[in-house]
Amino acid sequence: MTSALLPTYARAPIAFERGEGAWLVARGGERYLDFGAGIAVNALGHAHPHLVEALTTQAQKLWHTSNLFEIPDGERLGRRLVDATFADVAFFANSGAEANEAAIKMARKYHAAGGHPERFRIITFEGAFHGRTLATIAAGGQAKYIEGFGPKVDGFDQVPTGDFAALEAAIGPETAALMIEPIQGEGGVRVIPHGDLRRLRALCDQHGILLVMDEVQTGVGRTGKLFAHEWSGITPDIMSAAKGIGGGFPLGVCLATAEAARGMTAGTHGTTFGGNPLAMAVGNAVLDVVLADGFLDHVLAMGLSLKQRLAAVLDRHPDVIAEIRGEGLMLGLKLNVLNAEFAAAARDAHLLVIPAGDNVVRLLPPLIVTEADVAEAARRLEATASRLETRLRGAAE
Ligand SMILES: *Cc1c(COP(=O)(O)O)cnc(C)c1O
């Protein structure tokens, strides 16, 4: 039978019924090691007892009231995020793209409120991904997402990463902000060097423009810091986060300094669902775990262990794997075989990984993975690489 769903996804032919930690169980009972975590979303794995408890307790009390009323758990989550970051204020949304829409609007409004409405353009970087709304596809700049959807939203200028001459040439009297992922996720786990982030901060200060960090994928502990920009020692003016922040509950946030948010007064922006009591209960529960002593150390230790094991697999299979990239538990394998083929072969070995741009597959395990999970993933990647290598040899003969 044909599907009643819009065919915008090429789905793998598996449906999962339940999950536990880093493992997913398919309808037929087969177990898969989940090193995709629903695209970096299931930060605490599947069915984490603390999240299940928070969600079910809240579900019996109150789901939604709208932002016409005070939401104490939202005040609390906002305060905790502000206390843990550079930010002074938080705006809750339901997704990464929405968090970025808030960030883009805020950056424009900042200049309008300062008497410069002509400063609305935002510089973004080649290989970027910022979401699928009309503004965020324009920000991402990828033709395959923009074509056919009418005039591209105006106000986004794109330059290559690491090309400071091009960047300085692109900054003009209409520039409002730079927007960047500290590690490009969809673009292929391309790490922006920490020195480059520091140079971007300095350029923003020099030109009076805002630095917007898209930490939708890199945030909430993924790289071993609460947010990836912390590795570089600089802070943004505005930052979006989503994916891991709800641990699987749809939640996004736009965080900002009071200065950057100066234009966002009552009535200037809004959302019906964003920050509702159910989402806030889960968001607070995720933070309980991620902010607990030793959690980020665990992410770093597991990231290091995984990276070392991957290096050994690369050493044995250079015909299949070209390079290992990333930080913490956001790792990428740049491949010498097709990434979709690699991901399918890994799936046959009951390991889930996620293709990205630049012929990379991403390893984005839940942050709660154990050493045993990491060792098992490495064994399955070894088996996957061996199988693909045998296939390559067969094709060459
Ligand atoms: C996934 C992602 C988005 C979009 O998030 P959605 O929740 O799909 O709207 C934006 N930016 C980055 C860096 C992402 O990885």
130 lines ligand 1 (CB under 6 A): yes
Instruction: Report residue 101's pLDDT band, with 50, 70 and 90 as the boundaries.
Output: very high
45 CA distance to ligand 1 centroid (A)? 19
Query: Which residue type sits at 113?
Result: A
Instruction: Report residue 393's pLDDT band, with 50, 70 and 90 as the boundaries.
Output: confident
pLDDT in tens, 198-227: 999 999 999 999 999 999 999 999 999 999
Domain of 327 in residue numbering reads as 16-34+294-396
| One domain for residues 370 and 278 | no
| Phi, psi (rounded to 5 degrees) for 54 | -65, -45
Examine the pLDDT at 187 and tell me if it is beyond 90: yes
Assigned domain for 5 exists: no
Question: What does the alpha-carbon distance between residue 312 and residue 303 come to, in Å, rounded to a whole number?
Answer: 14
The token pair at 118 is 């002509």
Assigned domain for 163 exists: yes
253 lines ligand 1 (CB under 6 A): no
Assigned domain for 304 exists: yes
pLDDT in tens, 108-130: 999 999 999 999 999 999 999 99
Three-class SS state of 334 = strand
Assigned domain for 209 exists: yes
Q: Which ligand 1 atom is at minimum distance from the Cα of 97? A: 9
The token pair at 50 is 């603390």
Tell me what pLDDT residue 2 has.
Answer: 86
| One domain for residues 245 and 214 | yes
89 CA distance to ligand 1 centroid (A)? 21
96 CA distance to ligand 1 centroid (A)? 4
Cβ partners under 8 Å of residue 365, min gap 6 = 22, 34, 35, 37, 302, 306, 329, 373, 374, 377
Instruction: Report residue 395's pLDDT band, with 50, 70 and 90 as the boundaries.
Output: confident
Which residues on adjacent β-strands are paired with residue 91?
Answer: 254
Counted domains in the chain = 2
CATH of the domain at 363: 3.90.1150.10
Share of the chain above pLDDT 70, in %: 100
Assigned domain for 9 exists: no
95 CA distance to ligand 1 centroid (A)? 7
pLDDT in tens, 331-340: 999 999 999 9
Three-class SS state of 152 = coil
214 lines ligand 1 (CB under 6 A): yes
Strand order in the sheet with 31-34: 16-20, 23-26, 31-34, 351-352
217 lines ligand 1 (CB under 6 A): yes
Mean pLDDT (whole number) for 92-118:
98
CATH of the domain at 227: 3.40.640.10
Domain boundary among 290, 317, 342: 290
Instruction: Report residue 394's pLDDT band, with 50, 70 and 90 as the boundaries.
Output: confident
Neighbours of 382 (CB within 10 A): 17
Assigned domain for 42 exists: no
pLDDT in tens, 246-263: 999 999 999 999 999 999
pLDDT in tens, 44-72: 999 999 999 999 999 999 999 999 999 99
Mean pLDDT (whole number) for 301-309:
98
Pairing of β 16-20 and β 321-327:
unpaired
